[in-house]
A and B are shown apart, each in its own frame.
Chain A
């Protein structure tokens, strides 16, 4: 009989604990250390650092930040080296299970159970991909259906080809990049199916991943049925109308053995949710103030678990803000921070991060608009007082907008909402 072993509990106390060792977590950890946090630990469940980046072997990372176009692994190594140089503690192959309101983290790895008491926590858990069940595609349940990111890991990390004849649903950047990657590895990419009237990825990727190799892009189309006993045998695609209803009679069957789903990303926030941290329904990430502090004091959020970013450059810059705030917070331990004003997305605006302003001064906003447009003006108003007015030549929901705004003291004392709106010029 196996004797029940006593679980070993290992205790630590740190200034800043970062959950997730992707680019966001690493940038936050480096910044926390630079801003005075003495003991910083990064915890990641993977056996490597860099999060999703080592599998993103294409280039295009870091252009805004460094002026050169790096591949994902190169960008990751840049931050890994910085973290190592600063002596930041790294716990790999360690899964965070929970943390409590006193910021005590419970994590587990092969050595046992770890209790980590942190003065400040930075959440950097990244995001995960939507699956077939997020869009409810009917039909059989054969093998051969993967999310695009899983296929990317198979090919780029583990040297496994997911299939031969491939259909890709969704024209986001990951899907487009996978189309070219599969082509390079000798697969037949039969087409990319997109429900919108335009590709949702960058023009650069439409040109260099599809057009270069004559891969068809079926706009205003979706996959309506999946057939296959053991392995995928065929999918049915059909055209949709302006309301995204399927137009009957347009169905077409395509024989294939592999279906990749590139349907978008969902911030990973079970840990935050479980402890009652408020989550913004639109971003899918925690509600934060300008220091990227969540509604639980001393807990900060950054990276793709805060909101899904377009480029890693902007993500890292925001993550540095979270790391700096965490370092300061762990030194001062401010209590009982009052919400002073809420930022509300008004006409034409989908969301704004941060959602809360808790002190006057310069604030960096990131936001998305609701629909594409030209020659618009972005306003921020408190009652009848205008705080920001900025002309934008061109806007698109796929492109996050960043603006700096100075929030005057008197606006906050009157406890009004700060409304952000977009108007046509």
Chain B
């Protein structure tokens, strides 16, 4: 394990810089964490970094032109832009309800894209 890197712990606002040794499969803490919670975080960040994805999707005939969405689970970091690309090519028709699944199995990640806002149909006046 030759690769040493600093991981900023985000579990609390202190933001310790944790020095770790990792080759992507194995993992060892060198130091820098002020508490134990940092260890678990640094491990998952070194071996399998994932991020919640929040963005928006076009809505047709809605009271708003967009509906905000999130991933149903954190997305592996290297897949973020593939998922974003699929989101960018999608449009839904109003009404959309908060919690409604908009894309199933986005970019073959097994993760869904879910609405986080209710957008009603535009009233025609």
Residues of A whose CB lies within 8 Å of any CB of B are 54, 57-59, 69-74, 77, 155-159, 184, 202-204, 206-208, 211-212, 394, 396, 398-399
Nearest Cβ on chain B to A211's Cβ, whole angstroms: 8
19 pairs, CB–CB < 8 Å, chain A vs chain B: A54-B68, A59-B52, A59-B70, A69-B52, A73-B98, A77-B98, A77-B118, A156-B56, A157-B66, A158-B66, A202-B10, A202-B13, A202-B15, A203-B8, A203-B13, A206-B8, A212-B77, A396-B13, A398-B13
Chain A residue at minimum C-beta to C-beta distance from B14: A394
CB pair A203 B116 closer than 8 Å? no
In the complex, chain B residues whose CB is within 8 Å of the CB of A207 = 8, 10
CB pair B64 A71 closer than 8 Å? no
Contact pick for A71, options B65, B66, B70, CB 8 Å? B70
B14-30 residues with Cβ-Cβ distance < 8 A to A are 14-15
CB pair A208 B55 closer than 8 Å? no
CB pair A57 B8 closer than 8 Å? no
Chain A residue at minimum C-beta to C-beta distance from B52: A59
Q: Is B84 an interface residue (CB 8 A)?
A: yes
In the complex, chain A residues whose CB is within 8 Å of the CB of B68 = 54, 57, 71-73, 156
The answer to whether residues A54 and B10 also contact, given A71-B68, A184-B55, A212-B51 and a CB cut-off of 8 A, is: no
Nearest Cβ on chain A to B35's Cβ, whole angstroms: 9
Please list the 3 inter-chain residue pairs (A to B) with the smallest Cβ-Cβ separation, ordered nearest first: A203-B15, A204-B10, A57-B68
CB pair A203 B52 closer than 8 Å? no
A-B pair count, CB < 8 Å, reads 67
In the complex, chain A residues whose CB is within 8 Å of the CB of B58 = 159
Contact pick for B66, options A59, A159, A208, CB 8 Å? A159
CB pair B116 A74 closer than 8 Å? yes
Chain A residue at minimum C-beta to C-beta distance from B9: A203
CB pair B117 A77 closer than 8 Å? yes
Interface size classification for chain B? 20 to 34
Residues of B whose CB lies within 8 Å of any CB of A are 8-10, 13-15, 51-52, 54-56, 58, 64-66, 68, 70, 77, 84, 98, 116-118
Known: A203-B13, A203-B14. 8 other contacts (CB 8 A): A54-B68, A69-B52, A74-B98, A74-B117, A184-B55, A202-B10, A208-B51, A212-B51
CB pair A57 B55 closer than 8 Å? yes
Identify which of A71, A157, A212 gathers the most chain B CB atoms within 10 Å of its CB: A71
CB pair B118 A58 closer than 8 Å? no
In the complex, chain A residues whose CB is within 8 Å of the CB of B13 = 202-203, 396, 398-399
Interface class of chain A by DSSP: helix
CB pair A156 B66 closer than 8 Å? yes
CB pair B9 A59 closer than 8 Å? no
In the complex, chain B residues whose CB is within 8 Å of the CB of A203 = 8-10, 13-15
In the complex, chain B residues whose CB is within 8 Å of the CB of A158 = 65-66
Nearest Cβ on chain B to A290's Cβ, whole angstroms: 26
In the complex, chain B residues whose CB is within 8 Å of the CB of A71 = 54, 68, 70, 116
* Docked pose: A179 CA to B117 CA in angstroms: 22
Identify which of A73, A157, A159 gathers the most chain B CB atoms within 10 Å of its CB: A73
* Docked pose: A237 CA to B19 CA in angstroms: 32
CB pair B10 A184 closer than 8 Å? no
* Docked pose: A401 CA to B65 CA in angstroms: 40
Identify which of A57, A207, A398, A399 gathers the most chain B CB atoms within 10 Å of its CB: A57
In the complex, chain B residues whose CB is within 8 Å of the CB of A74 = 98, 116-117
In the complex, chain B residues whose CB is within 8 Å of the CB of A202 = 10, 13, 15
* Docked pose: A59 CA to B64 CA in angstroms: 20
In the complex, chain A residues whose CB is within 8 Å of the CB of B55 = 57, 184
* Docked pose: A207 CA to B77 CA in angstroms: 13
* Docked pose: A72 CA to B70 CA in angstroms: 11
* Docked pose: A212 CA to B10 CA in angstroms: 13
In the complex, chain B residues whose CB is within 8 Å of the CB of A70 = 116
Chain A residue at minimum C-beta to C-beta distance from B116: A71
CB pair A57 B116 closer than 8 Å? yes
* Docked pose: A157 CA to B67 CA in angstroms: 8
* Docked pose: A73 CA to B118 CA in angstroms: 9
* Docked pose: A203 CA to B45 CA in angstroms: 14
* Docked pose: A398 CA to B15 CA in angstroms: 13
